[in-house]
Structure 1
C-alpha cells in the first residue's frame, strides 16, 4: 500500500507535540514492509525537507504554513493533483484538518488525525479578538470538511474521540482511538543534570494556550511557597510572555524554552514531580513522558488527563485554587516515590504498542 503522509507539522516544528507524533507515525509506517511511504509538505525553496518530501514548485513560508491562504494553496492547488500523480492509496492528514480540497479519486482513502478540538471549544491564543474570530470560523469549516470527507478519524484519546462524536455526530461510526506514541526514556541518551538546576524542583511543561491554566497554577504555587519552606522551586518549560507580567519573575521560578530533546528528557529525569494543571488536554504527552522516567505526576481532573496517568496519581480540581493548594502542600511535605510501576504504566504508549494499534487500524481500512 502506498501511503501519503501530511508532513507539514514535522517540517515546521519537529519538536512540538504534533510534530513529534507525525515523526512517530512516519517511523511506524517505514517499519511496515507492506507500506511505501511518501511525505507531502511545503517548505522554502532552499529547505532540506524538499529532498525527502513531495513539495509544490513554489516556496512556502516556514513560519506561516498554517495561514489560511497558504493552506488553501497547498490543499486545493497542489495536493489533489500530487496524490493522483503519485498513485497514493491512503492519505493521512495529521494536524486536525488538511485533507485535499476537491473530489476524492475512486479507490483512494483519507484519514484525519484529530488530536483535539480545542480550536473550536476553547479560548485560544491570538493577538486580537478579530483574528481569533476569523480563525475560529476558518478552523470550524476546515475541521468539519476534513471530518466529513475522511474515511476514518483517528484520535489519541477516548476523550478526544468522544468530543469529536459530540460535535460531529454524523461521523461517530468512523472515529477510532490511536493513542500517541511516547518513546521510553531508555531509548534516549543518558540525561545529564544541568548545573544550574536547583537541588529540588517541580516541573511544568507547556504555557502557550489559556487551557494550560498557568496563571492559576503559578499563583497557587507562589502561595504555597509562602506557607511552607518545603515547597520546591519550579522549572517551567515555556515563555514568560504567555503569563501575566506579575507572574514572570517570581522568586524560585526558572524558565526554559528552545530545548533540545535530550535537555527536556533530563528535566523529566531529575524532577521531583511533574505538574499538569491543564483544564483541557487531548492527550497529555508530558505526563506520559515523565512517567516513562519513573517521575511522579500530579494533574488536574478532567479531559484526557483522566486516561493517561495511573489512578493513584494525585489529582486536583482544575479551577479550584484551594484544592490545588492542598495538593501542592501535601506533595511538598511528603514527596511521591519513584516506582517501577510508573515506568510500566508508560509502556502502554511505547513503540511496540503504537505499531500494533496502527496495524489494526490500517488492516481495518484495507478490508
Structure 2
C-alpha cells in the first residue's frame, strides 16, 4: 500500500505538538510491513525537505504555510495531480484540514487527522479582529470540507471525537480515536539536570493561544507566592510576548524558548510539578510527557485533560482563581512525590500501543 502523508506541519515546526505527531505517524508507517510512505510538503527551493518529500516546483514559505492562498495553491493545484501521479492508495491529512480540493480518484482513500476544533470554538491568537473573523470563516469551510470528504476522521482523544460529532453530525459514523504517540525519553538523573534552573521549580509548557490560560495562571501563581514562601519558582516554556506586559518579568519567573526534545524532557524530569491550566485541550501532550518521567501534574478540569492523567491527579477549575490558587498553596506546602506509577500510566501512549491502534484503524479502512 502506498500511503501519502501531509508532512507540512513537520516541515514548518518539527518540535511543535502537531509536528511531533506527524513524525510519530511517519515512523509508524515506515515500520509497517507492506507499506510505502510518500511525504508531501512545501518548502523553499534550497530546503533539505525537498530531498525526501514531493514538493511543488514553486518555493514554499516556511513562515506562512497556513495562509489561505498558500494552502489553496498546494491543495488545489499541486496535491491532486501529485497523488494521481504517485498512485497513492491512502492519503492522510495531518493538520485539522488539508485534503485535496478535487474529486477523489476511484480506489483512493482519504483520512483526516483532526487534533481539535479550537479554530472554530475558541478565541485564537490573531493580530486584528478582522483577521480573526476571516480566518474563522476560512477555517470553518476548510475543516468542514475535509471532514465531509474524508473516509475516516482520526482524533487523539474522545473529547475531540465528541466535539467533531457535535459540530459535524454527518461525520459521526466515521470518527475514530487514535491517541497520540508519546515517546519515552530516558535521561541520566543528575547529569541531565540543567545548570541554570532553580533547585525547586514548577513547570508550564505552552503560552501562545488564549485557551492556554496563562494570564490567570500567572496572576494566581504570583498571589500564591505572596502568601507562602513555599511556592517554587516557575519555568514557562513559551515566549514572553504571548502574555500581557505586566506578567512577563515577575520575580521567580523564568522563560524558555527554542528547546529541543532533550532539553524539554530534562525540564520535565526535574520539575517538582507540571501545571496545565488550559481550559481547552485536544490531548495534552506535555501532561503525558511529564508523567513519563514520574513527574506529578496538576491540571485544569474539562476537555481532553480529563483523559490523559490519573484520576487522583490534582485538578482545579480553569476559570476560578480561588480554586487554582488553593491548589497551588496545597501543593507548595505538601509537594507530591515522584512515582513510578505515573510512568506506568504514561506507557499507554508508548509506541507499541500507538502502532497497534494505527494498525487496527488501517485494517478497518482496508476492509
Aligned to 2:300: 300
Aligned to 2:251: 251
CA 1:168–1:189 in 2, change beyond 3 Å: closer, same or farther? farther
Deviation (angstroms), 1:268: 0.2
Deviation (angstroms), 1:64: 1.2
**Cα distance in 1 for residues equivalent to 2:10 and 2:16:** 8
Aligned to 1:121: 121
**Cα distance in 1 for residues equivalent to 2:182 and 2:163:** 23
5+ residue gaps, structure 2? none
User: Is structure 2 residue 217 aligned with structure 1 residue 212?
Assistant: no
**Cα distance in 1 for residues equivalent to 2:234 and 2:310:** 23
**TM-score, normalised via structure 1 length:** 0.99
Deviation (angstroms), 1:302: 0.2
| 1:230-249 equivalences in 2 (<5 Å) | 230-249=230-249
- CA offset digits 1:215-243 (Å, max 9, x no partner): 11000000000000000000000011111
Deviation (angstroms), 1:317: 0.4
User: Is structure 2 residue 305 aligned with structure 1 residue 288?
Assistant: no
**Cα distance in 1 for residues equivalent to 2:60 and 2:196:** 39
Deviation (angstroms), 1:33: 1.4
Contact 1:189 1:262 in 2 (8 A): no
Deviation (angstroms), 1:193: 1.3
**Cα distance in 2 for residues equivalent to 1:288 and 1:36:** 30
- CA offset digits 1:141-170 (Å, max 9, x no partner): 000000000000000000000000000000
Aligned to 2:138: 138
| 1:306-317 equivalences in 2 (<5 Å) | 306-317=306-317
Deviation (angstroms), 1:80: 0.3
**Cα distance in 1 for residues equivalent to 2:16 and 2:61:** 18
Q: In structure 1, the residue corresponding to 2:307 is in which secondary structure?
A: helix
**Cα distance in 2 for residues equivalent to 1:30 and 1:297:** 33
**Cα distance in 2 for residues equivalent to 1:130 and 1:101:** 26
Aligned to 1:25: 25
Aligned to 2:35: 35
| 1:1-367 equivalences in 2 (<5 Å) | 1-186=1-186, 192-367=192-367
Q: In structure 2, the residue corresponding to 1:63 is in which secondary structure?
A: coil
- CA offset digits 1:314-335 (Å, max 9, x no partner): 0000100000011000000000
Deviation (angstroms), 1:189: 7.1
**Cα distance in 2 for residues equivalent to 1:175 and 1:112:** 9
- CA offset digits 1:5-30 (Å, max 9, x no partner): 00000000000000000000000000
Q: In structure 2, the residue corresponding to 1:193 is in which secondary structure?
A: coil
- CA offset digits 1:81-127 (Å, max 9, x no partner): 00000000000000000000010000000000000000000000000
**Cα distance in 2 for residues equivalent to 1:355 and 1:128:** 42
Deviation (angstroms), 1:185: 2.2
Q: In structure 2, the residue corresponding to 1:251 is in which secondary structure?
A: coil
Q: In structure 2, the residue corresponding to 1:165 is in which secondary structure?
A: helix
Q: In structure 1, the residue corresponding to 2:303 is in which secondary structure?
A: coil
Q: In structure 1, the residue corresponding to 2:254 is in which secondary structure?
A: strand
Deviation (angstroms), 1:195: 1.4
What RMSD, in angstroms, separates the aligned Cα atoms of the two structures? 0.8
**Cα distance in 1 for residues equivalent to 2:48 and 2:188:** 26
CA 1:179–1:138 in 2, change beyond 3 Å: closer, same or farther? same
Deviation (angstroms), 1:261: 1.1
Aligned residues: 366
Contact 1:153 1:175 in 2 (8 A): yes
